[in-house]
Structure 1
Amino acid sequence: MNQLIEHKLALLPNSPGCYLHKDKHGTIIYVGKAKNLKNRVRSYFRGSHDTKTEMLVSEIVDFEFIVTESNIEALLLEINLIQENKPKYNIRLKDDSSYPFIKITHERYPRLLITRQVKKDKGHYFGPYPNAGAANEIKKLLDRIFPFKKCTNPPEKVCFYYHLGQCSAHTVCHTDKAYYDQMIEDVKNFLNGHDDKIVNQLKEKMQAMAEEMEYERAAEYRDLISAIGLLRTKQRVMAQDMMDRDIFGYYVDKGWMCVQVFFVRQGKLIQRAVNLFPYYNEPEEDFLTYLGQFYHDSKNLIPKEIFIPETIDEELVKALVNSKVIKPKKGEKKQLVNLATKNARVSLQQKFDLLEKDIQKTQGAVENLGELMGIATPVRIEAFDNSNIMGTSPVSAMVVFENGKPNKKEYRKYKIKTVTGPDDYASMREVIRRRYSRVKREELTPPDLIIIDGGQGQVNVAKDVIEKELGLSIPVAGLQKNDRHQTQELLFGDPLQVVDLPRNSQEFFLLHRIQDEVHRFAITFHRQLRSKNSFSSKLDGIEGLGPKRKQKLMRHFKSLTKIQSASLEDLLAAGLPQKVAENVQRYLTSETETRSES
Structure 2
Amino acid sequence: MAVEETPKEQLKHLPHRPGIYKFYDDKGIIYVGKAVDIRKRVSSYFNRSNQHNKKTLKLISQIKRVEFTIVDSEADAFLLENNLIKQHQPKYNILLKDGKTYPYLCITNERFPRVLSTRNKINDGSRYFGPYPSVTSMYVVLELIRSLYPLRTCSYNLSPANIQGGKFKVCLEYHIGNCKGPCEGLYEEEEYNQHIQQIKNILSGNMAVAKNYFKEKMSAAAAEYQYELAHQYKQKLDLLDDFQSKSTVVSNTLTNIDVFTITSNEKCAFLNYLKVMNGSIISTQSLELQKKLEETDQDILASMIMQLRADYESTAKEILVNIDDLQLPLDSITITVPQIGDKRKLLNLSLKNALYLRKERESMQDKSKDSSEVRIMETMKRDLRLTELPKHIECFDNSNFQGDNPVASMVCFRNAKPSKKDYRHFHIKTVVGPDDFASMYEVVTRRYRRLLEEGASLPQLVIIDGGKGQLGMAVKALKDLGIYGQVAIVGIAKRLEEIFYPGDSFPLYIDKKSESLKLIQRLRNEAHRFAITFHRSRRDAGTLQTELTQIKGLGPATAEKLLSKFKSVKKIASLSQEELEVEVGKSKAQILRNYFSQSK
Greater relative contact order: 1 or 2 (C-alpha under 8 angstroms, separation 6 or more)?
1
Normalized against structure 2, the TM-score is what?
0.31
Normalized against structure 1, the TM-score is what?
0.32
